[in-house]
Amino acid sequence: MKLASSNASTCNIVLSSESLFWHLPEMIEEQEKWDQSIELHAILAVRELEEMLSSEYQQRVKRHGESKPFEQFLKRRQFVSSHHKKAAEVLTQLSHKKISFSLINYSRHKKTIGKKIFEIMNCGELYPEKEMSGLVINRSLSLKELQMLMMINALYYDQYPWISTRISDALAKELPHTETQQCRMSAKAFEKLYKTNDIYIQTINEYLGTNEALTCLNTLDRSKTSNKDPKTQQKIRQEEKLSCNLISQTLLEALRDDPAKRLSNQTVDTLIKTSQSNAIPPNVKVELLEIAKANRPQGQQLAELLQQAQLKRHHG
């Protein structure tokens, strides 16, 4: 509401927030409070069902100590994809309230998603093509990496809750181009997953073009098999060896650290505050935030600040 009241008629504001997605229904319901001040255009991205849940599960392994198999993760949530359920709700509300929006199938356009968003905002010519080419911000885990992190979580997470975050960050930084795979599940779970979420996917597909539609129960390929190409398998084995070595090395270094030497919350807060000063050079800002992140590995806002600082340093 503050944004609406202070918005100038010539001002364009871009808000990017994953958490905002979950609060859009409440914002849409209060449309009359801001409709005269803001001309809203929502940009949403959706992913294939398996890919979305696999990513969400991996995030729990990397950041929250998950050590149970993928299917148990699905069973805990009754096989419901909360993201697809919420997306269907938001799209229905946006359409009913006649609020402008764009919908992107992220799974089809993940390599060009940034450029597509710039084009939707009518500023495609400003997209930093050269700087973004080949840049890896984050990546999923390979199956071998996932198995090892689950085991490490089961053994060490209670005593060292930051351990999986440190290892997964090391993998993303040192081996950014490792081939990743979606989590595996049984044929029975596979079928139940698509049956449970079909109503949400059907709703989403109403707002996607025919060639952009997400896989639903009617278009599901039940005969999918793993890639057994010899060259691909050899590449996976080589990458698994590199991953195993890096995980072992990072785990050893992490367990050698004395948790008693970790910085206090007050010190971490001071590091973050200091890093935001305009007088701090970009490389120093990154180093300060890296120290803060090492001592507060699950801080989401801190992770975003560090990512922004790394991008600024990269572009500068």
What are the tens digits of pLDDT across the range 14-72? Answer: 888 888 889 999 989 988 888 888 888 999 999 999 999 999 999 999 999 999 999 99
Residue 104 sits at φ, ψ, to 5 deg, of -120, 135
Residue 227 has a pLDDT of 61
Question: Is residue 307 domain-resident?
Answer: yes
| Residue 316 confidence (pLDDT) above 80 | no
Assess if residue 231 is contained within a domain.
no
pLDDT of 1 higher than 70: no
CA atoms of 185 and 133, how far apart (whole Å):
34
- CB-based contact 170:246 (threshold 8 Å): yes
What's the pLDDT at 33?
86
Residues 283-301: pLDDT tens digits? 878 888 888 888 888 788 8
Residues 304 and 206 in one domain: no
Instruction: Specify which residues 43 forms β-bridges with.
Output: 102
72: in domain: no
Above 80 in pLDDT, residue 93?
A: yes
106's CB contacts (< 8 A; 6+ apart) are 45, 46, 47, 113
Tell me the three state secondary structure of residue 231. helix
Percent of the chain with pLDDT over 70: 92
Is residue 223 in some structural domain?
no
Do the Cβ atoms of 146 and 183 come closer than 8 Å? yes
Is residue 304 a contact partner of residue 16, using CB atoms and an 8 Å limit? no
CB 305 within 8 A of CB 293: no
Long-range contacts from 130-135, C-beta under 8 angstroms, 24+ separation? 131/314, 131/315, 135/314
Which residues lie below 8 Å from residue 20, measured CB to CB, with a gap of 6+?
A: 27
Cross-strand bridge partners of residue 46: 105
Separation CA 217–CA 215 (nearest Å): 7
Q: Are residues 269 and 197 in the same domain?
A: no
Q: Examine the domain organization and report whether 202 and 311 are in the same domain.
A: no
Do 2 and 134 share a domain, yes or no? Answer: yes
**How far is it, in rounded angstroms, from Cα 26 to Cα 1?**
12
Task: Assess contact for 256 and 166: CB atoms under 8 A.
Answer: no
Residue 224: predicted pLDDT = 62
DSSP 184: P
**CA dihedral of residues 295, 166, 60, 57 (deg, nearest 10):** 160
Residues 6+ apart with CB under 8 A from 149: 61, 62, 141, 164, 167, 168, 247
Please give the pLDDT value at position 100: 94
Q: Which uninterrupted H or E stretch holds 204?
A: helix 187-205
- Average model confidence (pLDDT) across the chain: 88
pTM for this entry: 0.76
At which residue do the structure tokens 């871009």 appear? 14
Whether the per-residue pLDDT at 268 is higher than 60: the answer is: yes
- Shared domain for 98 and 41, answered yes or no, is yes
* Count of structural domains within the chain: 2
Q: What is the pLDDT at residue 10?
A: 67
3-state secondary structure of 41: strand
- Choosing from 150, 183, 213, the residue where a domain stops is 213
Helix (H) or strand (E) holding 104: strand 100-105
246 and 171 Cβ atoms separated by less than 8 Å: yes
At 66, phi and psi to the nearest 5?
A: -60, 135
Q: Is 119 part of any domain?
A: yes
Question: Rounded to the nearest 5°, which phi and psi values hold at 286?
Answer: -60, -45
Identify whether residues 200 and 116 lie together within a single domain: yes
Q: Which residue has the higher pLDDT, 89 or 132?
A: 89
Band of pLDDT at residue 103, cut at 50, 70 and 90: very high
* 117 inside domain: yes
Question: Which of 216, 193, 221 lies closest to 204, judged by CA?
Answer: 216
182 or 78: which carries more pLDDT confidence? Answer: 78
Mean pLDDT, rounded, for 185-194: 95
Is residue 203 situated within a structural domain?
yes
Range of the domain at 28: 1-48+77-138+191-213
